[in-house]
A and B are shown apart, each in its own frame.
Chain A
Amino acid sequence: RKEVEQDPGPFNVPEGATVAFNCTYSNSASQSFFWYRQDCRKEPKLLMSVYSSGNEDGRFTAQLNRASQYISLLIRDSKLSDSATYLCVVKRSGYALNFGKGTSLLVTP
């Protein structure tokens, strides 16, 4: 079983829609959690960190449930520019990042 699992999608949504991505991780020793965004033919870039209390950055809301080992990302009012692959990432201190396969999002006019 992969350490980080995501629904690969693709998710095709119209502009303005709300879309949610889910992710589960298997290693309970994981300490930090992130959502990265990767555009086609580009390197991954940090979208936001994920905290146990939940956190929001504009249209983006991330949630973490440590008991269920579950992470989510909610995008409200989708824009065309949100089209990308969203990577769920977990990390233990002193270790490399562990990536999910990514969820592809296509926002259409």
Chain B
Amino acid sequence: SAVISQKPSRDICQRGTSLTIQCQVDSQVTMMFWYRQQPGQSLTLIATANQGSEATYESGFVIDKFPISRPNLTFSTLTVSNMSPEDSSIYLCSVAPPRAETEAFFGQGTRLTVV
């Protein structure tokens, strides 16, 4: 198993500002993922955070809006840039071993409200 510490747990931010969310894992993991969960919706993958290279973004998400860092195998950050109220959501980091049959683990989530 993996223990993930994600912070901040919540924040209220002014539109136009940026927020950086941190995710720390208690063991080295190859793959880390960032998800967004909008109110009443399921989790949508934003990007895969790759160690030593640029993140891989899903359709509808771009690096300028959601820059990601992955400096080592235990840590990643997601920045939500130039925020608008539409960015109000829960953001979750996740780790999963590459083997398909193994479960994924999640951070506690960051509840973001943009006003």
Where the two chains meet, the residues of A that have a C-beta atom closer than 8 Å to any C-beta of B are 31-32, 34, 41-46, 49, 87, 91-94, 96-102
Q: Looking at the complex, which one of B43, B45, B100 makes contact with A31 (CB distance below 8 Å)?
A: B100
Q: Which of B79-106 contact A (CB under 8 A)?
A: 92, 94, 96, 98-104, 106
Query: A102 to chain B: which residues have CB within 8 Å?
Result: 42
Given known pairs A96-B94, A96-B96, A97-B96, the reply for A31 and B42 (CB within 8 Å) is: no
Inter-subunit contact A99/B43 (CB<8 Å): yes
Q: How large is the interface on B (under 10, 10 to 19, 20 to 34, 35 or more residues)?
A: 20 to 34
Q: How far is the CB of A41 from chain B (nearest CB, A)?
A: 7
Is the contact region of chain A dominated by helix, strand, or loop, or is it mixed?
Answer: loop
In the complex, what distance in Å separates the CA atom of A43 from the CA atom of B42?
11
Inter-subunit contact A97/B109 (CB<8 Å): no
Query: B41 to chain A: which residues have CB within 8 Å?
Result: 101
Q: How far is the CB of A31 from chain B (nearest CB, A)?
A: 4
In the complex, what distance in Å separates the CA atom of A39 from the CA atom of B106?
13
Given known pairs A94-B98, A96-B33, the reply for A43 and B45 (CB within 8 Å) is: no
Inter-subunit contact A93/B99 (CB<8 Å): yes
Inter-subunit contact B100/A92 (CB<8 Å): yes
